[in-house]
Chain A
Amino acid sequence: MSALRRWLDGESGYPLRAGWRETPPKKPKTRPARRDDRRQLDGFLRAYALCAIVLCMLLALCLILGVAGLPPFADAGNPTNNEVAERYVGSAEEETGAENAVAGMILNYRGFDTFGESCVLFVALCCVELLLRATTPALRKEAEACEKEAARDAILATVARFIVPCVLVFGLCILFHGHLSPGGGFSGGAVLGAALILFAAAFGRDRVRRFFTRRVFDAVRISGLMLYAVMFGLYVFLGANGVESGLSRWIVQIIDVAVGLVVMSTMYGFFAFYTKGEL
């Protein structure tokens, strides 16, 4: 456990390299590779490939046989178009205040589910950070050299100067109109994250770090998740579907923005940790 602790504290680099096992591993019995072994292995691999192909063809066949038993495509009488969908579409507007029935469904009727999704994104970013954070000076130097090489591309910078503001406005539009038109927190957040990534790729990470520091990043993603939890709790305690639709519309919008914040910081965080190992 001490090796794991050292790794988590950032003192050691890759624990797989040394000290991961407390007891020294036994020396394996090595024996010279013989031609028989090689042939046996090749035979096994060929048989494995053949088995895999046959298995996948069988799988496709089974699935297509299953498809043949499905009800006709796009028919209004299909069992999927049942009273649940009718209820969601029929009373989404008056109960949730959202004209976009999908937004009303995922943020109000199924708000806990979407909260779980935001948590999944949050935890995924935590895992990526844990795995890829540049802990040793050598790794950090390597990442910096990598960034210097990539930045300062004249064509990219010129194009980005025009494109980034447009993408930002588009992302904000999607984000704030999520309850009225197609869009919402997830798509708006992804577009905003893409704008940030483009900005960082064109003008270097230091320019982003002027306004999006480590502290701001942590604050944005944690407060996004907290805002969601608080607003959804408020919505449930105020009476859930019974909340007056004018108020409910505001709650949907705030929850949408909270989801957008989480998604945006997650997208940018993935990019930052993959390329440089830190924000």
Chain B
Amino acid sequence: MLTLLVQNRYAVTASVLFAVGFLHVLLHPDLIRKVVAFNIMDASVFLLLASRGTVAGRAAAILTDGGADPSRYVNPIPAGLVLTGIVVSVSVSAFSLALIQRVYGVYGTTDLRRLLEAMKKRGE
């Protein structure tokens, strides 16, 4: 088992990063840090996907010989999936940061606890 874990070290790193990001989402009271933590979780998923596409001793999927020999190139599918993931992660981050900026404009804080207090004070 240990040799497998060492071999799959990128996947192990990805799982640890995912847990760290999730912990920050749960524990940090600051909304902007929660968005950063979400981005860490995204990055861990990208790392896992990209590592699954690698094949030892093969070149990147730029077909210089006309694609005559598929066994010379790595798997292009994870690269495409990571691209999709990056686009979604950028969009979600941008949208949540815009929402947070709006919230800051109204309540003057991005700290979740102070925000709840301020909301309670206004009777919302």
Contact = CB atoms under 8 A, between A and B. Distances in A.
Interface of A: 14, 16-17, 25-28, 49, 52-53, 55-57, 59-60, 63-64, 66-68, 70, 72-76, 78, 80-81, 84-86, 88-94, 99-102, 105-106, 110, 113-114, 117, 120-121, 123-125, 127-128, 131-132, 180-182, 186, 270, 273-274
Interface of B: 1, 4-5, 7-12, 15-16, 18-20, 22-23, 26-27, 51-56, 58, 60-64, 66-67, 70-71, 73, 75-80, 83-84, 86-88, 90-92, 94-95, 97-99, 101-102, 105-106, 120, 123-124
A94 B66 contact: yes
Nearest to B52: A80
Contacts of A113: 84
B75 A81 contact: yes
Contacts of B92: 124
A213 B86 CA distance: 28
B16 A60 contact: yes
5 contacts: A73-B10, A76-B71, A101-B61, A114-B84, A120-B88
Contact of A101 (B11, B26, B67, B71): B67
Contact of B76 (A17, A101, A131): A101
Contacts of B19: 56-57, 59-60, 63
Contacts of B4: 67-68, 70, 72
A127 B83 CA distance: 22
Given A89-B76, A273-B98, A70 B91 contact: no
Contacts of A117: 83-84, 87-88
Contacts of A132: 98, 101-102
Contacts of A125: 94
A100 B20 CA distance: 35
A53 B61 CA distance: 41
A105 B76 contact: yes
**Which of B1, B8, B55, B63 counts the most chain A CB atoms within 10 A?**
B63
A125 B87 CA distance: 12
B67 A124 contact: no
Contacts of A105: 76-77, 80
B26 A56 contact: yes
Contacts of A114: 84
B78 A110 contact: no
Given A106-B80, A106-B83, A128-B98, 20 more contacts: A53-B27, A56-B19, A56-B26, A59-B22, A60-B19, A67-B8, A70-B8, A75-B55, A76-B56, A78-B55, A80-B77, A92-B63, A92-B76, A94-B67, A99-B63, A101-B63, A102-B80, A105-B80, A127-B95, A131-B98
Nearest to B123: A25
B98 A91 contact: no
Contact of A124 (B58, B94, B120): B94
Contacts of A68: 1, 4-5, 8
**Which of B51, B58, B79, B99 counts the most chain A CB atoms within 10 A?**
B79
Given A60-B15, A72-B4, A124 B52 contact: no
B66 A274 contact: no
B42 to A, nearest CB: 14
B15 A89 contact: no
A180 B12 CA distance: 34
Contact of A274 (B73, B91, B101, B124): B101
Contacts of A17: 106
Nearest to A27: B123
Contacts of B120: 28
Contacts of B95: 124, 127-128, 131
